[in-house]
Amino acid sequence: MRQSTFLAALLAPATLFLGVFFLGPLLIIAVFSLLTPGLYGGVEWSFYHQNYGRIFGWADGIMEIYEPVYLQILLRSLGFAALTVGLCLVICYPVAFWVARLPPRARLFCLFLVTLPFFSSLIVRLYAWLLILKPSGLLNQTLLATGLIQTPLEILYTQSAVVLGLVYVMVPFMFLPLYSAIDNLDRSMVEASMDLGANRVQTFTKVVLPQTLPGIIGGAVIVFIPSVGNFIVPDVLGGAKGLMVGNLVEQQFLSARNWPFGAALAMIVMGVVLATLLYASARARSAAHA
């Protein structure tokens, strides 16, 4: 009994903090998404379901018009986020294996390097990418000088630049959970598998992959969620042409002054993310039981 009181006391600050600063704002967004937009921002306290109607197709067609564009933008954002997850995984998986086999000091140094980008502001780093990718930038100058290309590559202000930027931002978030899963890999099982006659592919799919799956799922979730809502990368590197749902939400709260519609969009993004999370955690649980 004393122990559980002690535990409750320890958990109280975190619970209180999350309750006030996470659940509170979430509740505000949920309520706002069902209210009438104020003419100059803010909300009017009357129920209004058309914020969702504009997105899903039951708008009245007079004050609010249903347009498929919002679902298109959402789908595009999900696609970009999924692509980002895939690319981050392909980049990080082999690297995490390599790092896990380094001597302890080198390993620590590598982990330090992975976290190094967090020491400077994201905006500054994205503008650095702008300088690298632009036609007269570092990348094109180098490629031109080596004769690999004759005319500058058009990367900046394309969707490729957006995905590149997202992958760059998200790689550390994929690497760290992968690394911890791979570091904990039971190597004697790998040896046993090889000794018992499994080939490399079988060993990988039957032994290595299942053991590292929780790390893969963890990394995928942590990369996917912020990628869906990112609006800075498409703004800076995409030239605001490839609109993502994050840009749309930002626009509703600022230039369009339509807070309830922005809140409705945010709720839908949150719903999608929540569904992804539930699916991922179900997968992780079944993987753990396998």
Partner 1 sequence: MKVYALALGLMASAASIQAAGAETLALYNWGDYINPEILAGFTAETGIEVTLDTYSSNEEMLAKIQAGATGYDIVFPSVHMNDIMLKLGLLEKTDINLSPGFAAIDPANLRSKEDPDSAYCLPYAWGTVGIFYNEKVTGPITGWADYFAAAEKGAKVTLLDDMREVVAVGLIMTGKSVNSTDPADLQGAVDYLLSQKSKVAAFTYDSMSMLTSGDIGAAHFFVGGNVFFTQTPDVKYVIPVEGATMYQENICVLKTAPNKAAAKAFMEFYLRPEIAALNVAQQFNGTANVPARDLVPDFIKQNPTINVPAETLTRLQIFEDLGAGLKLYDRAWNTIRTAQ
Identity of the residue, 188 or 255, whose beta carbon is nearer to partner 1 in the bound complex: 255
Identity of the residue, 64 or 114, whose beta carbon is nearer to partner 1 in the bound complex: 64
Instruction: Decide: is 129 part of the binding site for partner 1 (CB under 8 A).
Output: no
Query: Where does this chain touch partner 1 (CB under 8 A) — which range of 26-34, 102-110, 112-120, 233-241?
Result: 233-241
> Which of 251, 260, 272, 276 touches partner 1 by CB under 8 A?
251
The neighbouring-strand residues paired with 35 are 47
- Least separation in angstroms between residue 160's CB and partner 1 is 14
> Which of 19, 25, 41, 271 touches partner 1 by CB under 8 A?
41
> Which of 65, 138, 192, 282 touches partner 1 by CB under 8 A?
65
Q: Vertex 79, ends 76 and 80: CA angle to 5°?
A: 90
Identity of the residue, 125 or 257, whose beta carbon is nearer to partner 1 in the bound complex: 257
Instruction: Decide: is 263 part of the binding site for partner 1 (CB under 8 A).
Output: no
> Which of 122, 130, 132, 194 touches partner 1 by CB under 8 A?
130
> Which of 226, 257, 283, 287 touches partner 1 by CB under 8 A?
257
Pair 261, 54: CB distance under 8 Å: yes
Pair 125, 49: CB distance under 8 Å: no
Instruction: Decide: is 243 part of the binding site for partner 1 (CB under 8 A).
Output: yes
Query: Where does this chain touch partner 1 (CB under 8 A) — which range of 3-11, 186-194, 232-240, 279-287?
Result: 232-240
The residues in 173-212 that bind partner 1, with binding defined as CB under 8 A, are none
Identity of the residue, 72 or 115, whose beta carbon is nearer to partner 1 in the bound complex: 72
Instruction: Decide: is 248 part of the binding site for partner 1 (CB under 8 A).
Output: yes
> Which of 3, 4, 136, 150 touches partner 1 by CB under 8 A?
136
Identity of the residue, 73 or 163, whose beta carbon is nearer to partner 1 in the bound complex: 73
Rounded to whole angstroms, the Cα distance separating 40 from 47 reads 18
Instruction: Decide: is 45 part of the binding site for partner 1 (CB under 8 A).
Output: no
Residue with tokens 């018992």: 196
Identity of the residue, 40 or 119, whose beta carbon is nearer to partner 1 in the bound complex: 40
Six-digit token string for 247? 């840009």
Terminal CA-to-CA distance of the chain, rounded, Å?
36
Instruction: Decide: is 285 part of the binding site for partner 1 (CB under 8 A).
Output: no
Q: Tell me which residue of 248, 257, 255, 266 sits closest to 38, measured CA to CA.
A: 257
> Which of 12, 20, 106, 254 touches partner 1 by CB under 8 A?
254
